[in-house]
């Protein structure tokens, strides 16, 4: 019986890892944290803020579709720095943007 607990650990780990990130609910708080940490030097990331460097986040969803933004953020180009974001992080940021309208 002593070995039974360690033996089951890899099975638990495999179960946890098997849940695809797409099943995780889009997390507005995580999106806000990413926005404030990585995006706020250039973009206004709150409500009713202006930025003269890049589009305020409160404004982007009014002009572009979620899919369009996700595609852009998967491979940022032009004047945007090439910040590497996971798919879930992109979904979180867009979920956060949707709260700014």
Q: Could you list the residues that contact ligand HEC (CB under 6 A)?
A: 34, 38-39, 41-43, 53-55, 60, 63-64, 69, 72-73, 78-81, 83, 85, 93
Task: Phi first, then psi: give them for residue 80, nearest 5 degrees.
Answer: -75, 130
Is 8 or 62 the residue whose CB approaches ligand HEC more closely? 62
Q: Extract the tokens encoding 13.
A: 């780990």
Q: How far is the CB of 25 from ligand HEC (least distance, A)?
A: 19
Nearest-approach distance from CB 80 to ligand HEC, in angstroms: 4
Spatial distance between the Cα atoms of 57 and 76, rounded to a whole number of angstroms: 15
Fill in the DSSP letter of residue 6: H
Name the residue nearer to ligand HEC (CB basis): 10 or 75. Answer: 75
Of the pair 1, 53, the CB lying nearest ligand HEC is at 53
Rounded to a whole number of angstroms, the minimum distance from the CB of residue 49 to ligand HEC is 13
End-to-end CA distance of the chain: 57
The span from the CA of 60 to the CA of 65, in Å, is: 9
């Amino acid at each position: 019986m002593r070995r039974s607990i360690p033996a089951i650990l890899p099975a638990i780990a495999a179960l946890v890892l098997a849940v695809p990130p797409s099943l995780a609910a889009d997390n507005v708080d995580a999106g806000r944290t990413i926005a404030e940490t990585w995006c706020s030097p250039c973009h206004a990331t709150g409500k009713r803020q202006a930025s003269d460097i890049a589009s305020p986040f409160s404004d982007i969803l009014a002009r572009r579709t979620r899919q369009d933004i996700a595609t852009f953020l998967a491979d940022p180009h032009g004047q945007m720095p090439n910040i590497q974001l996971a798919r879930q992080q992109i979904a979180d940021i867009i979920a956060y943007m949707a709260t700014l309208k």
